[in-house]
Structure 1
């Protein structure tokens, strides 16, 4: 039976489509303004930074400039996982910074999940959140061995990862071929569009000014220049994540790699009885090519994954938000995982770029000599990490020495990506390697040597 897709499924993210009514656009920047802090980017990183600063010191003048609209980038396009995930393993962090630092970072990420939810409630933001944790399913013997290794390794770092039997997995999610899996409580499914829009309103209530349709053309010490004016400030914060490559001199800082998603229509309760996810657990499996999904508050399956190509020269374009080959594959995968979905309509297809540093290490920092601060490189795990970044940047900008400013990602500077065509070849080779690694494991029944080699080369294993 063929998949059922609307003749013209919406290309806008599901999280943008349900915005009630016509939103009044925020005015672009015109002329020159003065501020204490100028923030470039009105996504989670920029808005959490503004929120944390103004919560600490309401007298600060904070101006946020955004090239498009609030939440236009990854903050409004992601899978809605507010998780303690980190793109590098704790072992990799420990190898560079020590075991104590790795444990501190892991603990801070776990605490951040609740910090996001608590702040949303305090600000009256209905993010449609449910903290059901994450279930990751093992569907082959090799994946099951990986699940066991994951659960055992997590104990070393104080992470709560429960190893599940096949029956225990089915109690949370009825995924085809499940042999077992893991579950962690440290994740909430939420509606990222509602969260980022509500956060922008909260920031404005606290006194910040947000200018939309004001693309930054240059970031210089003490000034942000835009197409319509400039902001002069003591501190300038770069919070542009996957769109960083568009800034002058930043093309090789973060590689913009596309992650794509699909969403079904709201599913009837009879279908949900076959799928599970009664606590709105987010879900994935132990394949190498990343997939991720959630049960939305209105009863849809929102599902995404990697696999779309990196575009030469770090190009970013709205036309890359749709890739029929990848979107078709995502739909087939979702039906394979949950046969009960066969026959349901897919109503949305969308995507967008996320930021990846050369060593897969997110970072946050402040150069006091130039007054320039930055955060990003979350590799798709930024819904919670951006909150941690915003609170950390606030402490750095206010000159505070805190537990946050001593975390190991503070002050880290990744080396630049190689120039083209090497960058294009490396990033796309990595994407192909993950697909090949999954195929290798199916053929051989053994853990993929390709995946192990890629993890070593990329530095995120």
Structure 2
């Protein structure tokens, strides 16, 4: 590394994520051994697949539900994310309003807010201890340009019916005190979670409900009514793809959703004096209004988990499944963390890891079930999946059971978008976007408005 980054003596890079440090990375369960038939087959044992299985069994206990997972339940983004149970839309409110209506887009936003409480309630009911605290979210502006975007965001939120109780400007000194903050936004619609505890707890619950979960069983291809693996074929009336950032690894799906990398570091436990100085006395989630944005949480054991983009995309939609993080990414995240909190410079990094999230071409999530072929899917969460997976699971339940509801009427249901461009255009576009965003953030240090470079980046990729 060009700048010395202090690493703990037991520093770990990769090995899925820090969230598995307390328990160790789980050993995968039994794999599929021969052909199997079921009512519903779900490909992927992350939060989308597990929530779908959970709600199906709760609604109709007699259903035979099978989940197929290439590694172990919670191996992907569900066990690596930043632990944000956020009410933020997984896509642009304006786009949903444009393709449907303002009323439909507003209904989707309200469902996202309600889903936070739904997850909290299910965890309480099922005894899932995931360190959940609904402490809200603080988003800071650290330049004049970011502050201008902050005011525009508040004005837009008012225009679509969100009130002070949903989102408001806040005194940056009244919450978490970030160095250089010139403004802040506050919303109560966010909760902290421990990702591995949530997904592993949910996996245990669905098994107890009678769901058959086969791990170490990679699915190579999905066709109507069948999921094909090296160890046998799973047949069902419905086959649901719940593979998010790993979708590109399936036959015929390489350009469907782009696997976008995100990386995180976590510090050693910090002393109480640090938290007092930072004013971080609760479980608020912390983000910023930079284009190359960050996300952070105070963990239950008193660390800062701090994330952002590293190498955003690997050529050909490849996926580094083990979570190893490049030195320069660790360095960049550490420099950002200590820029936000100079007092944290006396600590050390305990763990670094990476994972992939799924990005559709229009950056809006989708959920769909085709009654004719029995094929369905949900995903493309663009980094907002912890909450959206639960809404997706309940929506897939209603679509599979052919039960019209307020969920099946939401504007993300049945949303179809074009595929990503072939290589090398895909690689060039994504890397150009993030290069432009980095340059825009640099320029905005001395600007009063959003850089034209950021608008160009949005135009290139349709962000």
TM-score bin, normalised by smaller chain: over 0.9
Report the 3-state secondary structure (helix = DSSP H, G, I; strand = E; otherwise coil) of the residue aligned with 1:194: helix
Give the match for residue 352 of structure 2.
349
Give the match for residue 113 of structure 1.
116
2:66 aligned with 1:63: yes
Aligned pairs for 1:212-223 within 5 A: 212-223=215-226
Instruction: Give the Cα–Cα distance (whole angstroms) in 2 for the partners of residues 97 and 396 of structure 1.
Output: 19
Aligned length: 456
Q: Choose the corresponding residue for 1:360, options 350, 359, 363.
A: 363
Instruction: Give the Cα–Cα distance (whole angstroms) in 2 for the partners of residues 23 and 444 of structure 1.
Output: 49
Unaligned stretches of 5+ residues in structure 1: none
Report the 3-state secondary structure (helix = DSSP H, G, I; strand = E; otherwise coil) of the residue aligned with 1:413: coil
For the 8 Å contact 1:86–1:378, the answer to whether it is kept is: no
Report the 3-state secondary structure (helix = DSSP H, G, I; strand = E; otherwise coil) of the residue aligned with 2:173: helix
Aligned pairs for 1:263-302 within 5 A: 263-302=266-305
Give the match for residue 248 of structure 2.
245
Alpha-carbon distance, 1:327 to partner: 1.4
Instruction: Give the Cα–Cα distance (whole angstroms) in 2 for the partners of residues 46 and 86 of structure 1.
Output: 20
1:206-255 CA distance string (max 9 Å, x none):
11010110000121111111121121111000000000000000000011
Instruction: Give the Cα–Cα distance (whole angstroms) in 1 for the partners of residues 11 and 434 of structure 2.
Output: 26
Instruction: Give the Cα–Cα distance (whole angstroms) in 2 for the partners of residues 373 and 135 of structure 1.
Output: 36
Report the 3-state secondary structure (helix = DSSP H, G, I; strand = E; otherwise coil) of the residue aligned with 2:35: strand
Which 10-residue stretch deviates more, 288-297 or 449-458? 449-458
Report the 3-state secondary structure (helix = DSSP H, G, I; strand = E; otherwise coil) of the residue aligned with 1:330: helix
Instruction: Give the Cα–Cα distance (whole angstroms) in 1 for the partners of residues 181 and 317 of structure 2.
Output: 38
Give the match for residue 153 of structure 1.
156
2:24 aligned with 1:16: no
Alpha-carbon distance, 1:8 to partner: 5.9
Give the match for residue 8 of structure 2.
6
How big is the alpha-carbon RMSD for the aligned residues of Structure 1 and Structure 2? 1.5
Report the 3-state secondary structure (helix = DSSP H, G, I; strand = E; otherwise coil) of the residue aligned with 2:337: helix
Instruction: Give the Cα–Cα distance (whole angstroms) in 2 for the partners of residues 220 and 343 of structure 1.
Output: 54
Unaligned stretches of 5+ residues in structure 2: none
TM-score by length of 1: 0.96
Give the match for residue 428 of structure 2.
425
Instruction: Give the Cα–Cα distance (whole angstroms) in 2 for the partners of residues 116 and 277 of structure 1.
Output: 24
1:316-359 CA distance string (max 9 Å, x none):
12466311111110011000100110110110000011110111
Q: Choose the corresponding residue for 1:77, options 70, 76, 80.
A: 80
Give the match for residue 101 of structure 1.
104
TM-score by length of 2: 0.96
Instruction: Give the Cα–Cα distance (whole angstroms) in 2 for the partners of residues 220 and 205 of structure 1.
Output: 29
Report the 3-state secondary structure (helix = DSSP H, G, I; strand = E; otherwise coil) of the residue aligned with 2:96: helix
Alpha-carbon distance, 1:170 to partner: 1.6
Alpha-carbon distance, 1:84 to partner: 1.1
Give the match for residue 163 of structure 1.
169
